[in-house]
Amino acid sequence: MTVRSSRSQAADTFSAEDFAQALDKQNLSFQPGQVVQGRIFQHQNDGALVDIGGKSPAFLPLKEAGIRPGEDLSALFPLKTEAEFLILREDAEGQIVLSARRLRLKRLWEELAQKQANGQTVTVPVIATNKGGVVVDVQGLRGFIPRSHLSQRESLEELVGQSLTASFIEVNPEANKLVLSQRAAVKSENLSRYTSGQVVEGKVSGLKPFGVFVDLEEGITGLLHIKQVSQSFVASLPDLFKPGQRIKAVVIDVDEAKGRMALSLRVLEKHPGEVLEQLDRVMEEAEERAGKLKGRITSDGQVI
C-alpha cells in the first residue's frame, strides 16, 4: 500500500479556480497616480510592455515614454531596463497604462525648483529666438531668457546653437513657465569670488535711510547697512557719503543665492565713532586694519 504525501494530497484538491483566486490575492492593488517599479520586456510599434508584478503586463505608450518629441523608445528603455513609472489609468480591457514622461516631468520640476532655491545655475542650449529673448532647452523643458537678462542683447540669432549658463528667475510647473537669467548667473559667479573679511573698493551708487549701496566690479553691488558704518550712532548718511564717492569696506556676508553682499566699516574702527571723525584715515589703512583682525567676522559685523 502506497502512502501518499500530504503535499500530493493538497495538489489534488488545488483546482484551477483556486489557483486563479490565489493569483488575485497576490495581485497588487494598482491605483492611478501610484509610482511603481517595472521592467521592459517587449517593444511594440506604439509603445512597450512592462512587467510591474501584476497578472498581465502594463503598457507604456510611445507618447508617454520621453519628454522630448520623437525620442527613440528602444534607446530610452532598452529591453530588460528597470525603471519607475507613474500609473495613469486602467483601460477598457483592464490593462494598466503607464507614463515615464509625466513622472520625469514631475521630478524635473521639483529638481529645478530646488536649484532655484539654492541659487544654482544650469548650462542650457539656445534653440530659438523671439522678440523678447531666447528659448532654451532645460533638460527637455522649454525655458525662456528675456533679452534684458542676456549678456548679449543684440543679434540674438547668433546665440542659437550656443550654450549659456543661467540661473532661475521663475519655476512654475502649474503655468508651465520657466524663466532664466544669464546676467544673474554671471553675477552669482562673480559673487563667489568674494569672501568674508576681504577688503573691496567701489563707488557709492545710492543712499537710503537704512544704508549705502556700493557698486563694485563686474556688476556686483554691496550694501553697507547703517548699523555697519560705525560702532557709534550714525545720525546722517548723506553727511558722510555722496553718490559717486569711492570707498573701501570689508565683506562680512555673501549670499550667492540671493545675489547679495553685505559690507562693513565698523570692523575697521580702532574706537567707536572713528569712521565719523576720520573716514579718510580709515580708508587709507583699510587693508592693513583688515589684515590685523583676529578671528572670524560674522554676518552682523562681529569679530569672533
Band (pLDDT 50/70/90 cuts) for residue 219 is: confident
pLDDT, one tens digit per residue, over 264-277 is 999 999 999 999 99
Q: Helix (H, G, I), strand (E, B), or coil: what is residue 184? A: helix
Residue with cell 537710503: 208
Q: Does residue 92 register a pLDDT over 60? A: yes
Q: Does residue 7 register a pLDDT over 90? A: no
Residues in the chain: 304
- Round to whole Å and give the CA distance between 256 and 46: 47
Q: Show the CA angle centred on residue 54, arms to residues 99 and 7, nearest 5°.
A: 165
In this structure, which amino acid lies at residue 34? Q
What pLDDT sits at residue 159? Answer: 94
What pLDDT sits at residue 6? Answer: 45
Residue with cell 547703517: 226
DSSP state of 209: T
Rounded to two decimals, what is the model's pTM? 0.64
Q: Does residue 11 register a pLDDT over 80? A: no
What pLDDT sits at residue 118? Answer: 86
What pLDDT sits at residue 12? Answer: 52
Q: How confident is the model over 123-143, as a mean pLDDT?
A: 95
User: What's the mean pLDDT when you consider all of the chain?
Assistant: 87
pLDDT, one tens digit per residue, over 151-209 is 888 889 999 999 999 999 999 999 999 999 998 888 888 888 888 899 999 999 999 99
List the one residue out of 41, 112, 54 whose CA is nearest residue 83. 41
End-to-end CA gap in the chain: 95
Q: Does residue 125 register a pLDDT over 90? A: yes
Contact 66, 53 (CB under 8 A): no
Q: Helix (H, G, I), strand (E, B), or coil: what is residue 75? A: helix
Contact 113, 127 (CB under 8 A): no
pLDDT, one tens digit per residue, over 16-72 is 565 455 445 444 578 999 999 999 999 999 999 999 988 889 999 999 998 888 889
What pLDDT sits at residue 27? Answer: 47
Q: Does residue 122 register a pLDDT over 50? A: yes
Q: Helix (H, G, I), strand (E, B), or coil: what is residue 280? A: helix
What are the structural domains, with CATH classification, of the chain? Answer: 36-99 (2.40.50.140), 120-188 (2.40.50.140), 192-291 (2.40.50.140)
